[in-house]
Amino acid sequence: MCETRDATPEITDVFWYEIGNAVSEPMTSVSERTLDEILRPYGRALFVNNARNGGLYKLAKHAARQLSVASGNARSTPVSAINVTLLVSIFIKYFIEFASEGDGGFGGVAALGGGRSERVRALAATFARDERWETGGGPNASLENTSPFDDLLRACVDVLCGKHVTAQAMALHVACARLLLVATSSQLTFNLDDAEAREIGHPLARRIAAIGSSDSRRTGVLMCALLRRVIERPPNIGDIYEGAVNRENAEANGITRGMASVLSSMLSMRSKPNKDVTDNTGSHVVIKCAHTSRSPLADECANLFLALCTHGAFGNRDENPFRIAVKNMKDISSRSSVASNKRPSELVDFERLAVALSASLCTDVGLLLSYVTLSTNSRFVSHLSSSAATSRFVQGLLKELYEAESNKLAHVSQLIVTIFLILSQDVRFNRMMQTETIASSNWYKERILQNSSLASLIVVVLSRTIKYNVAKTATVSKMLNALGSIANMACVTRDISGYAAQRLVNTLALFTRRYFKITRENALSSDGLREPFSDADVCEDFIRVIFEILNCLATDLDSLEHNPEIVYALMHREELLTTYRTHEVFAEYVQNIETVLQHYKDAVESAQNRETDSPISVRRLKRVISETSLTPSPQKRNQNACDRDCSVHDFHPMRFAYVEDEVNAPYFLIPYVWGVVHAQSGVFWNRSAIALFAADADADASLHSSMSEDGPSSAVV
């Protein structure tokens, strides 16, 4: 940590122990923004001279030893282990920032010599084993041919894998979670389209991936331990600073003058800071997330969980070892059927997880955790089909979707609609939604909704989402996922409310208006030719899905018996059907539906003939529909077909399955996840070193646009 190699202490020097014991209280109780003001000059000097003195290498080796001792001591946690872990994570963060700095330089490192490519390659060498700094290790020197950074990462994983977190060990767990988060934070310093960064820009992250791939059991235990911390939300006992350090109004406080002077004096003995360097804070504003919790450990574990599951250097969902571990998680209830010595390590209490996620849906991190677990672990999806927490979970999702569309939060609504598509793939979940009734939904402002089934409420809110996005070509995947969710539920829909049926039919009206507007514009164009995959084609696809839904609801006798409101809604807007009677794509759908409607129109006409004294009321009309039974069509009787189907033309019900797009999904998930991490984490990042969000001058707009266009997509199977 100094200008000359000779002045750098050997690994056995007492200096390394003095650093951790420089203060008698955990440094996690201090804002990292404040620590950054003290340590950044020394970090820059350490970066410049590291090739000559191996300062970071030796600090990492000492920290790995400290953590190894601390993880094996169940009764006490040395403050020195906490402090040295925090210090090494801060200095590693500086190295990542300085190495990834553009050749223009935000702080002057580039001016010291070498381009970005050279510095990034040198950074990878920094984290490798170096025999120069292994000498003088004495009897405690590592006998394995490993880098101390690998040992450090493994030691952090071992600490976090502990089943129980005591009050004394909480600060150490936070420090370890932050160190692993920093190791993956190279994702922040590069743009996703940076080809060089994808190849060589994530050296520590790749070491974490190698650790995860080499020991699947350890990886499974780690991911389950992180989720357990999220579920338990252990309260802070005062050893961890709780402020949002990356916000503009975050105060640099929480540090005593004594601690500041001790840290400065300790580092000054060995280092000469570069006082000519300035820090350009930049002007980019990243995603803001609610910082409502008071469990810093749970927050950091959630951040780390999301970072590990979505990191660009770990490959797609089938290659990422941490996401594979999430896929293999099992409910803790499976423990009883397995011998204790053969129980899998991937055990989580799914019921408590569902409750925890339900309580956190009002935050971005809660939505992201829900998406990652549901899209990765089919067992958890199945659990929700019978969970007592499902009703609250679904109501929370619907409320957040309603507010997201009102507040124009495109990335939030995209994520929630995708979650609904995933859930709707489970038939048991769809049936459960038919039986769950809610007394009222005060958050829904357009209309008073009382005693509605959750299935009807889902149709209402998803139809509203489609209405808000029908004119936007950039939200095709969102609308397809919304319609796909309704289509998956259609075959088991029962007792749909009048308002839900009305909103569903109105959705057909919305796309009809847009479709004919586009066709008129195409007819008036200069060449009159229709381009392939045009807006008209997209509208036709959406209209076909809606007709599939209506056909399923209106031609199945079981469905008709329990859904008279859909008949009334179709009769009320029958002019929509006449528009498509001769359309080559939709004519058969219309013929099916009109055959059913004609039967009910005849029944209504008979009722009117019997009650000539007054016009038939809406209530009486609905009662006639409810009391009228429908028989299979003559065509089906002649063909000995299923006696519960009154359609003229057969259509196989559409089923939609969610498939995560390996190409486009990272452009949605990675900026979203790291925006949340940046806003919530206790790790302070220099904003001028962040390149992930700053693709252009209007960074927020471009981020939201990319999320809308390239969000997770659905596929028809």
Judgement on whether residues 680 and 629 belong to the same structural domain of the protein: no
From the CB of residue 55, how many other CB atoms can be counted at a distance below 10 Å? Answer: 23
Dist CA 98 CA 116 (whole Å): 9
Whether 516 contacts 485, CB under 8 Å: no
Q: Does residue 357 belong to any structural domain of this protein?
A: no
Q: Which amino acid is present at 519?
A: T
Q: What is the CA radius of gyration of the chain?
A: 30
Judgement on whether residues 339 and 487 belong to the same structural domain of the protein: no
Judgement on whether residues 433 and 315 belong to the same structural domain of the protein: no
Judgement on whether residues 472 and 504 belong to the same structural domain of the protein: yes
Q: Return the pLDDT at 150.
A: 94
Q: Does residue 709 belong to any structural domain of this protein?
A: no
Dist CA 60 CA 104 (whole Å): 30
Continuous segment of H or E residues that includes residue 659? strand 656-659
Judgement on whether residues 320 and 418 belong to the same structural domain of the protein: no
* Exposure string for 622-645, b = 16+ CB within 10 A, e = fewer: eebbeebebebbeebeeeeeeeeb
Bridge-based pairing state of the strands 656-659 and 713-716: antiparallel
Dist CA 342 CA 351 (whole Å): 23
Which sign does the torsion angle of CA 94, 98, 102, 107 carry? positive
Q: Return the pLDDT at 173.
A: 95
Q: Return the pLDDT at 717.
A: 35
Q: Does residue 65 belong to any structural domain of this protein?
A: yes
Judgement on whether residues 641 and 495 belong to the same structural domain of the protein: yes
Judgement on whether residues 338 and 396 belong to the same structural domain of the protein: no
Q: Does residue 570 belong to any structural domain of this protein?
A: yes
Judgement on whether residues 48 and 75 belong to the same structural domain of the protein: yes
Q: Return the pLDDT at 213.
A: 94
Judgement on whether residues 107 and 86 belong to the same structural domain of the protein: yes
Whether 690 contacts 96, CB under 8 Å: no
- Tell me the DSSP string of 134-147: TTT-GGGS--SS--
Dist CA 191 CA 312 (whole Å): 11
DSSP lists the bridge partners of residue 714 as 658
- Tell me the DSSP string of 168-181: TTHHHHHHHHHHHH
Q: Does residue 493 belong to any structural domain of this protein?
A: yes
Judgement on whether residues 413 and 314 belong to the same structural domain of the protein: no
Judgement on whether residues 34 and 76 belong to the same structural domain of the protein: yes
Q: Does residue 703 belong to any structural domain of this protein?
A: no
Q: Return the pLDDT at 259.
A: 40
Three-state DSSP state, 316: coil
Whether 707 contacts 418, CB under 8 Å: no
Question: Percent of the chain having pLDDT more than 70?
Answer: 77
Of the candidates 21, 31, 13, the one whose C-alpha atom is nearest the C-alpha of residue 90 is 31
* Token pair belonging to 438: 């809610």
Length of the chain measured in residues? 717
Judgement on whether residues 315 and 395 belong to the same structural domain of the protein: no
Q: Return the pLDDT at 352.
A: 95
Continuous segment of H or E residues that includes residue 519? helix 498-524
Q: Return the pLDDT at 54.
A: 84
**pTM confidence score:** 0.86
Q: Look up the domain containing 558 and give its range.
A: 389-659
Q: Return the pLDDT at 643.
A: 47
* Token pair belonging to 530: 């229709």
* Token pair belonging to 467: 């209405």
- Tell me the DSSP string of 452-485: EEHHHHHHHHHHHHHHHHTT-GGGHHHHHHHHHH
* Token pair belonging to 450: 């009382």
Q: Is 168 exposed, middle or buried (0-12, 13-18, 19+ CB in 10 A)?
A: middle
pLDDT tens track for 142-168 = 446 788 999 999 999 999 998 678 888
Task: Provide the greatest CA pair distance for the chain.
Answer: 109
From the CB of residue 706, how many other CB atoms can be counted at a distance below 10 Å? Answer: 19
Q: Return the pLDDT at 559.
A: 75
Given its phi and psi angles, is residue 272 left (phi above 0), alpha (psi -120 to 50 degrees) or beta?
Answer: beta
Whether 328 contacts 220, CB under 8 Å: yes
Low-confidence ranges of the chain (pLDDT < 70): 1-23, 73-75, 102-114, 135-144, 163, 248-293, 334-345, 526-533, 612-613, 629-650, 694-717
Three-state DSSP state, 715: strand
Of the candidates 665, 706, 661, the one whose C-alpha atom is nearest the C-alpha of residue 287 is 706
Bridge-based pairing state of the strands 656-659 and 437-440: unpaired
Dist CA 504 CA 547 (whole Å): 10
Q: Does residue 296 belong to any structural domain of this protein?
A: yes
Q: Does residue 417 belong to any structural domain of this protein?
A: yes
Which sign does the torsion angle of CA 256, 258, 261, 264 carry? negative
Q: Return the pLDDT at 121.
A: 85
The number of folded domains in the chain is 2
